[in-house]
Amino acid sequence: MPRTVYAFPSTETLAANLRDQLLRAQDEALAKHDRFTVALSGGSLPQTLAQGLLAHPESFQWDKWHIFYADERCVPLDHADSNHRLAREAFLDRVPIPTSQIHPINPDLVDQPAAAAEDYQHQLMRVFALKGAAVRFPVFDVILLGMGPDGHTCSLFPNHPLLDEDEKWVSYLTDSPKPPPTRITLTYPVVNHAHTVIFVATGASKQPVLERILDRNEPLPAGRVNPIHGHLYWYLDDAATATLTQT
Ligand code: 6PG
């Protein structure tokens, strides 16, 4: 799998380059299948994305975007912990993506994580299994991921049994070490079938875990992302990469 690691001098430069890459990915996706499917993480990612996307929103064909969440906390959609709320406040509310093409978790199922995960998988199937054709796994045009200090990504945490999930598209957990404990998450097979996976990690606090993943190839959850046919990018800043030898 090809892997490209970028280190930018600032978050501003990172965000501008990320925007350019998303524009190219959008144009390629539209030429191929007339829509652009994107999965987003929570954390600091939506703010960084907003910095790039909202600087030139007119460049994008928003009516062709379909947004899913790489992981979501099982809380009401207007809760302070909701990744959907975070993404809306950061940029989704300011761009004209049709509401029917933004896919939050079912708010009626936040107290039933197993049902919420199953429902989310059905939401994915409705978009990715077009015309009744069966697909083994969805192929996102782009999955945008963050990474925690323990190396987690999505809600795939070190040593968690969900790391071995190889059937389901969406799983749930009730024991997330990062609060809140109850979440749903895309699984590795879905992440690894994407056309493009982009990690975004900034700031000196990411140095130790980046050393473990990029320099020492430790199999932490983020380090195990390995697109089968796609391309993997790491968008980092100088603060995060200062101690790395591989960039
Ligand atoms: C979540 C996130 C999670 C996040 C990382 C990185 O809902 O908790 O999706 O996987 O992306 O923890 O977060 P930061 O970007 O804030 O470091």
pLDDT above 90 as % of the chain: 94
State the fold for domain 10-196: Rossmann fold (3.40.50)
- Residue 225 phi/psi, 5-degree rounding, is -70, 125
Distance (angstroms) between ligand 1 centre and the Cα of 69 equals 12
Contact 199, 226 (CB under 8 A): no
- Whether complex ipTM tops 0.90: yes
Per-domain residue ranges of the chain: 10-196
Distance (angstroms) between ligand 1 centre and the Cα of 80 equals 14
Distance (angstroms) between ligand 1 centre and the Cα of 247 equals 23
Report the chain's terminal Cα–Cα distance, integer Å: 17
Q: What single DSSP character describes residue 29?
A: H
State the closest ligand 1 atom to the C-alpha of 176, by its place in the atom list counted from 1.
8
- Helices 45-53 and 11-33 meet at what angle, rounded to 10? 80
Torsion of CA 222, 26, 53, 197, to 10 degrees: 0
Q: Taking residues 207-235, what's their average pLDDT?
A: 96
Q: How many CB atoms lie within 10 A of CB 93?
A: 10
With a cut of 70, say whether residue 143 has pLDDT above it: yes
State the closest ligand 1 atom to the C-alpha of 44, by its place in the atom list counted from 1.
15
Predicted structure pTM score: 0.97
Question: Which residues approach ligand 1 with their CB closer than 6 A?
Answer: 41-45, 71, 83, 146-148, 152-154, 178
Q: 47-57 burial string, b = 16+ CB within 10 Å, else e? A: ebbbbbbeeee
**How would residue 1 be classed by pLDDT, with cut points 50, 70 and 90?**
low
State the closest ligand 1 atom to the C-alpha of 153, by its place in the atom list counted from 1.
10
With a cut of 80, say whether residue 239 has pLDDT above it: yes
Q: Mutation test of ligand 1: which of 47, 72, 147, 182 has the most ligand atoms closer than 8 Å to its C-beta?
A: 147
Q: Taking residues 222-242, what's their average pLDDT?
A: 96
Q: Taking residues 45-73, what's their average pLDDT?
A: 97
Q: Taking residues 48-70, what's their average pLDDT?
A: 97
Predicted confidence at residue 245, as pLDDT, reads 86
Q: Taking residues 137-144, what's their average pLDDT?
A: 97
Tell me the pLDDT of the chain averaged across its residues: 96
With a cut of 90, say whether residue 119 has pLDDT above it: yes
With a cut of 90, say whether residue 20 has pLDDT above it: yes
Distance (angstroms) between ligand 1 centre and the Cα of 146 equals 5
Enumerate residues 6+ apart whose C-beta is below 8 A from 182.
Answer: 73, 74, 113, 172, 173, 174, 176
Q: Mutation test of ligand 1: which of 83, 86, 153, 160 has the most ligand atoms closer than 8 Å to its C-beta?
A: 153
Distance (angstroms) between ligand 1 centre and the Cα of 87 equals 12
**How would residue 224 be classed by pLDDT, with cut points 50, 70 and 90?**
very high
**How would residue 247 be classed by pLDDT, with cut points 50, 70 and 90?**
low
Distance (angstroms) between ligand 1 centre and the Cα of 49 equals 14
Q: What single DSSP character describes residue 19?
A: H
The neighbouring-strand residues paired with 231 are 196
Closest CA to 18 of 43, 42, 40, 51: 51
Residue 36 to residues 10, 67, 192, 224, Cα–Cα distance (Å): 27, 9, 17, 25
pLDDT above 70 as % of the chain: 97
Distance (angstroms) between ligand 1 centre and the Cα of 41 equals 6
